[in-house]
Each structure stands twice: as structure tokens, then as C-alpha cells.
Homo-oligomer: A and B are copies of this chain.
Amino acid sequence: MAARVDSVPELFGSACAGDRAALARLLSLVERGGDQGREVSRLAHPLSGNGYLVGLTGAPGAGKSTLTSAVIGHLRAQGISVAVLAIDPSSPFTGGAILGDRVRMQDHATDPGVFIRSMASRGHLGGLSLATPEAARLLDAIGRPWTLIETVGVGQVEVEIAGKADTTVVVVNPGWGDSVQANKAGLMEIADIFVINKADRMGVDETRRDLEQMLELSDLGASAWRPPILPVVATTGEGVDEFWSAVLAHRATIEASGELARRRKYRLGEELRQIVTRRLELRARQLATGEKWERLKADVADHLLDPWTAADEMLDGIGG
């Protein structure tokens, strides 16, 4: 237990030197989001910006884990190291454990070039929406060249998180329509690349036509990039090379056009805005307790004070 008293800078140094246990502990601090989590952020932020973030989202069962595992194999065959953050907002306390349906990723569990982590919010003020980019920045800062963010489903938070990557991949299956109906528009908006996984099944052509039609209707703006639609059979590895080539092509395109820098700047601005909002909300909850609050509430209930004037008094001095 003596190791537990290592300071954050010590842990950070160890993680940079390749110590996986130190990295795991830093990620737990990020998930908790307290003062130590912020210390991790302060150390990581200046060193980040060289790694590249790929988000993968899609309905449960679409085969995102199998595709992720295939990508890991593809990168490891070239000696490139990679990290995976698995995001499941519906299971806030699975952190640190490999999820059941991600068991096949354990093929890579003993490979020092692979780091896999299930993310949990564990009390972070901003939940996984804020904890995930911080975790990705840590992996970037300690020298991981590629981080894959994989969500379990296509819920609002999951799409939001996956959409904040440098390249976002939406994984569908032949006949995808029904399973993602609720969030089709959200998925079209964030997709840089579509993968039709399980492309050995019936209905690939219809699915491709469906996606192409929706792309026609979407506003791609002045973007030079048109999301490709790639058939893959992740279980056999068929199409994985082509898929990863598309990721590299997208990266090259947005690096050259300045779009990557613009995206990252926008993301950091949004993150800052979110932190400011969360902290003000916390402040509001803190204000709604204590003696002054009880007195004002009683005055309002007794009709001595209207709620707006009471709110003024409550916010007095904090510029609300």
C-alpha cells in the first residue's frame, strides 16, 4: 500500500516511462475529477497535442469491439502502440474492468503496446463528457500516438463523446435503420467515416444506398471530405486495411486543410464552457443549503419577500 502515497507528478513521471499501473491510477484520479484529477490535467495539457483520437460509435451489437480489436491487431503488426477508452455511460461503476462484451480485446491484454481501459465517471463533476477528453489528453501527453474511444451504444452522451474525436467512425450493419432510428440525425452529423460491419450478410447495398441518400440530404458544407462508406467483416479482418487507410486519409485531409486545428480548438472551447457551467451549477446547489437559504425560503413562504428579490440576495456578491 506504500505506493499509494506517490504524488501525482511522480505517478505522471512513471506513466511517461511506461508504467501501466501508474497510468491506471492517474486515470482513476481523472475519473474522480477532484483536486488530484485537476492536477493530472494541469500536467497533461501542455504536453498533449501530438496524439490522434479516433471515436467509434454505433448501436450495441454492431461489432465495434471486434472492429477495435482488429484495428489494434493492424497497428500492432506495424509496431505502433495504441490505447482504447471504452465508454459506457449506463454503467457508471464498471471502471477499470474489461466489460463482458469486450472480452475479445483481452487477446491484447498482455501486450505492452496496448492499453485498454473502461471509463467510469466515479463522481467527476461533468460526468463522462468531461472525464473522457481529459483521459484522452493524458494518454496523448504520455506519448500514446493513437487513442481509440469506443462507446457501447448510440445514446446522446455516447454520440457526443465519440463526436469529439479527431476522426469519428460510425459503425452500422446491413439493415441498420431500426436499431439507430432514434439518433440517425445525430450520427449523420458526426460521421467522418461509415463502416458497414458484418458486410458478409444480406443488405449491404441497400444500407449503402440509404447512407448515401442521407449524405445527399446532409449539409456537408464546404468540407473537402465526403464520408466514405466501407464494408468490413471485422471477425475475419476483411476490409480492415481499407478502413484504416480511410482513417489515415481523413487525418491527412484535415491536417492539411487546417480543419483538425479548428476542431481541436472548438472542442477545447466547448470543454472550457462546460467546466464553467458545471462549476456554477455546483455553486447553485451549494447555495441552496445553509442558514441564509433557510431564512430566505421562510421569508418567501411568509410572503415577506418575492422569489426574485430572494434570489438577488442569495446571489449577492457572486455576480449571478
Contacts and interface: CB of A to CB of B under 8 A. Distances in A.
A290 interface: no
Given A283-B319, A283-B320, A317-B319, A306 B45 contact: yes
A251 to B, nearest CB: 19
Interface stretch (A91-99, A158-166, A230-238, A274-282): A274-282
A222 interface: no
A104 interface: no
A249 interface: no
A48 interface: yes
Copies in the complex: 2
Contacts of A268: 297, 300-301, 307
Nearest to A298: B265
A275 B311 contact: yes
B280 A320 contact: yes
A202 to B, nearest CB: 34
Contact of A320 (B42, B48, B264, B276): B276
A109 interface: no
Given A307-B45, A315-B279, A272 B300 contact: yes
Contact of A311 (B272, B281, B300, B319): B272
Chain A interface: which size bin? 35 or more
A271, A300, A320: most-surrounded residue (chain B CB, <10 A): A320
Nearest to A297: B269
A309 interface: yes
Given A280-B281, A280-B320, A318-B319, A308 B49 contact: no
A308 B265 contact: no
A303 B45 contact: yes
A52 to B, nearest CB: 16
Contacts of A17: none
Contacts of A281: 277, 280-281
A265, A268, A272: most-surrounded residue (chain B CB, <10 A): A272
A301 B48 contact: no
A38 interface: yes
Closest 5 pairs (CB-CB, A-B):
A45-B306, A318-B319, A265-B301, A275-B311, A280-B280
A291 to B, nearest CB: 14
Contacts of A280: 280-281, 283-284, 315, 320
A276 B287 contact: yes
Nearest to A43: B306
10 contacts: A46-B306, A264-B301, A268-B300, A275-B310, A276-B288, A276-B320, A277-B284, A280-B320, A317-B319, A319-B319
